[in-house]
Amino acid sequence: MGNPTGFLKVDRALPDDRDPKDRLVDWQEVHEHMPEEGLRKQASRCMDCGVPFCQSGNSQYAPKIAGCPVNNLIPEWNDLIYRGQWKDAIDRLHRTNNFPEFTGRVCPAPCEGACVLGINAPPVTIKLHEYAIAEHAFEEGWVNAEPPAKRSGKTVAVIGSGPAGLAAAAQLNKAGHAVTVYERADRIGGLLMYGIPNMKLEKHIVDRRVKLLAEEGVTFITNTEIGKDIPAKQLQDEFDAVVIATGATKPRDLPVAGRELKGVHFAMEFLSKNTKSLLDSKLEDGQYINAKGKNVVVIGGGDTGTDCVATSLRHGCEHVLQLEIMPRPTDQRAPGNPWPEWPKTLLVDYGQMEAIAVQGDDPRHYQVMTKKIVGDESGQVKEVHTVQIQWVSDENGRMSPQELVGTEKVYPADLVLLAMGFLGPEELIIEQLGIECDERSNAKAAYDEFATSVDGIFACGDARRGQSLIVWAIDEGRRAAREVDRYLVGESFLP
């Protein structure tokens, strides 16, 4: 630790985001960089704790004990930033995380929620440091393709090119196996490419990493849906092992009257078409759902809903509203949510900040249940009917929503976006391979084993754990790669 009293003398600071009014006219990232001097000061706040909770994320204890799921060596690289040893910092960071440029941008940072400094002061700006180390390294030309010195002669098919599939591919390729990644979309990246909007993660950042992986020897095959274009059994026959990393792409629906009306869409249709059109033609081809001039109602108060709010505002919507059935989170940690748990406190994210800048208030309304959606005579949506609810517990402590009489509301709506979470992986591949599922319909495979019920078939990421986070997907991809390596050659030296 370079500066033992840094945490006493330096306040937490982050670079300002771009002004919402400026950033709403483009699709570029909302965050600004911090100059090196500021970063070194921030890094000096790290106390190099004897037990660094920041880096101790563990699937077994999550979310009770948060911390970094890939066990990034956080105090080490905080110190290296403080000392200006950036090359050593990226070497340390790459030891535990294949893609710090993604997590440095879009991870919600469970590490910061578990930072020891957070007990009585704002935590160390760990995510900012990760981002800075990664981008500094790319700028300096320190991140280059490193193909394996020798090949094992074994072959692996990875189905799905999200962060789990990419991390598994990167690691298996390092171990010398010939890896082929199959992706049904036309671009590689999974939700990094077609879920998370450009203003959170610009897509040339994803392409930059995919290009490196290709140079290292990973083969990518796009526009190919396993199960339809190629039977899953064929991969099982042709490859020595198969990794299922297909994500949890089945959206939760809203079973109310009017669901079938024109103008009611799943959030992912809205978001993915927007990014595709943006990348293909800067939104000139019209192949997306346009919110311009519309009253938009987003149903779902989570991150996907927030991405819909931010996208609608960039289209120039008339007004956007975000309805959430759960109560408003508290401003500070509740007594039942102590450090080092992930803090379940109110976050005003980039989309809400933008809505506040344009509309004057936070677009989120809490404890609101949608009763029905009403359309006009042409079948186009025109209203969302809601009622306020309160959550009541029964004698077994089970919570259920109770409608509050007299709180019914009608909101004008030209576009309704359903962002209420995901129900697990699609069944096609799972059925074709005869893989057992768990009680939540995910591919059944134990954490740290990742082997499914079928010999030689492994599962990781959202397809195994349900909709989660990029950092967990990277963690699972890396760990699954180690198990596949063991399966193929009897031992593994992969970290």
Ligand X SMILES: Cc1cc2nc3c(=O)[nH]c(=O)nc-3n(C[C@H](O)[C@H](O)[C@H](O)COP(=O)(O)OP(=O)(O)OC[C@H]3O[C@@H](n4cnc5c(N)ncnc54)[C@H](O)[C@@H]3O)c2cc1C
- Taking the complex as a whole, the smallest distance from the CB of residue 115 to ligand SF4 amounts, in Å, to 3
According to the binding rule CB under 6 A, does residue 46 interact with ligand SF4?
yes
Is residue 181 close enough to count as binding ligand X by CB under 6 A? no
Residue 462 site contact among ligand X, ligand SF4, none (CB < 5 to 8 Å, cut-off depends on kind): ligand X
By a kind-dependent CB cut-off of 5 to 8 A, residue 53 interacts, out of ligand SF4, ligand X, none, with ligand SF4
The stretch near ligand X (CB under 6 A) out of 68-76, 84-92, 223-231, 440-448 is 223-231
Distance CA 74, CA 49 (A): 10
Task: Say which entry of ligand X, ligand SF4, none residue 74 contacts (CB below 5 to 8 A, set by partner kind).
Answer: ligand SF4
Q: What CA–CA distance (Å, rounded) separates 94 from 73? A: 10
Asked if residue 35 has a cis previous peptide bond (ω within 30° of 0), the answer is: no
SS (H, E, C) 389-416: EEEEECCCCCEEEEECCCCCEEEECCEE
Rounded to the nearest whole angstrom, what is the least distance from the CB of residue 82 to ligand X in the complex? 27
Q: How far is the CB of 188 from ligand X (least distance, A)?
A: 8
Shortest spacing between CB 109 and ligand SF4, in angstroms:
11
Amino acid at 182: Y
Please write down the HEC assignment for all residues of 10-70: CCCCCCCCCCHHHHCCCCCCCCCCCCHHHHHHHHCCCCCCCCCHHHCCCCCCCCCCCCCCC
Query: From CA 489, how far away is CA 140, in angstroms rounded?
Result: 37
Q: Does 462 bind ligand X (CB under 6 A)?
A: yes
Beta carbons within 10 angstroms of residue 491's beta carbon: 7
Q: Which one of residues 24, 47, 166, 416 is an interface residue with ligand SF4 (CB under 6 A)?
A: 47
Integer Cα distance of 326 and 329 in angstroms: 9
**Half-sphere exposure (CA, 13 Å, Cβ side) for 141?**
0
Q: Which of 65, 70, 81, 115 binds ligand SF4 (CB under 6 A)?
A: 115
Whichever of 124 and 308 has its CB closer to ligand X, that residue is 308
Q: In the complex, what is the shortest distance from the CB of residue 46 to ligand X, in angstroms, rounded to a whole number?
A: 23
- For ligand X, give the closer residue by CB, 43 or 245: 245
Say how far apart CA 335 and CA 430 lie, in whole Å: 42
Residue that has been written with the tokens 């297909």 in this structure? 246
Nearer to ligand X, 44 or 275 (CB): 275
Residues 107-166 that bind ligand X (CB under 6 A): 107, 159-165
* Nearer Cβ to ligand X (307/483): 307
Length of the chain: 495
**Contacting range for ligand SF4; rule: CB under 6 A; set: 31-39, 109-117, 246-254, 438-446:** 109-117
Q: Which of 24, 65, 74, 188 binds ligand SF4 (CB under 6 A)?
A: 74
d(CA 302, CA 322): 9
Site for ligand SF4 in 119-138 (CB under 6 A): 124, 126
- Which residues are CB-neighbours of 48 under 8 A, at least 6 positions away? 1, 75, 78, 79
- Select 120 or 396, whichever has its Cβ closest to ligand SF4: 120
Q: Which stretch binds ligand X (CB under 6 A): 51-59, 92-100, 150-158, 303-311?
A: 303-311
* Min CB(467)–ligand X separation in Å: 6
Asked whether position 75 contacts ligand SF4 by CB under 6 A, the answer is yes
The CA radius of gyration of the chain, in Å to the nearest whole number, is 23
Interface residues toward ligand SF4, by CB under 6 A: 46-49, 52-54, 74-75, 78, 115-117, 124, 126
